[in-house]
């Protein structure tokens, strides 16, 4: 998967189109990601031992095809390429400006 945890991504489809946020969680089996304060849903939660119940607002996962990684140099959603460095490490690069996306 071309997205990693803590990446800044831009939503390119759906009701959150155009917004950017940070990736909180990745669900690899379903090709979905959870983005901070994106795709909020209301969930009716039963009370349990840890806390009280009620209507809780939480982030729902988005499909990975509906998001793009944001390049820090281009400051926009970009396509991702891969490059192998001299030390053998495989890193992600921006297709527009060839900037390294992995630190």
Triad 93, 89, 29: Cα angle to 5°: 75
Report all structural domains of the chain as residue ranges with CATH numbers, in order of start. 8-70 (2.30.30.30), 75-103 (no CATH)
Find the mean pLDDT for residues 62-75: 95
pLDDT bin (cut points 50, 70, 90) of residue 57 is very high
**Across residues 26-51, what is the average pLDDT?**
94
Q: Alpha-carbon distance 73 to 37, whole Å?
A: 24
- Supply the pLDDT for residue 52: 86
- How do beta strands 40-45 and 54-59 pair? antiparallel
Is the pLDDT assigned to residue 103 strictly greater than 90? no
13/103: higher pLDDT: 13
Please give the mean pLDDT across all residues of the chain: 94
pLDDT at position 51 over 90:
no
Q: Is the pLDDT of residue 50 over 90?
A: no
pLDDT at 59 over 80: yes
Residue 65's pLDDT is: 96
**Dihedral through CA 90, CA 4, CA 14, CA 81, nearest 10?**
-10
């Amino acid at each position: 998967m071309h997205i990693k945890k803590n990446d800044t991504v831009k939503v390119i489809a759906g009701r959150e189109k155009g917004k950017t946020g940070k990736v909180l969680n990745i669900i690899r089996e379903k090709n979905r990601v959870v983005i901070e304060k994106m795709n909020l849903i209301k969930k009716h939660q039963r009370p349990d031992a840890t806390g009280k119940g009620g209507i809780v607002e939480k982030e729902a996962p988005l499909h990975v095809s509906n998001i793009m990684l944001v390049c820090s140099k281009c400051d926009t959603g970009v396509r991702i390429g891969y490059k192998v460095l001299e030390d053998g490490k495989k890193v992600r690069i921006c297709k527009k400006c060839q900037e390294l996306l992995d630190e």
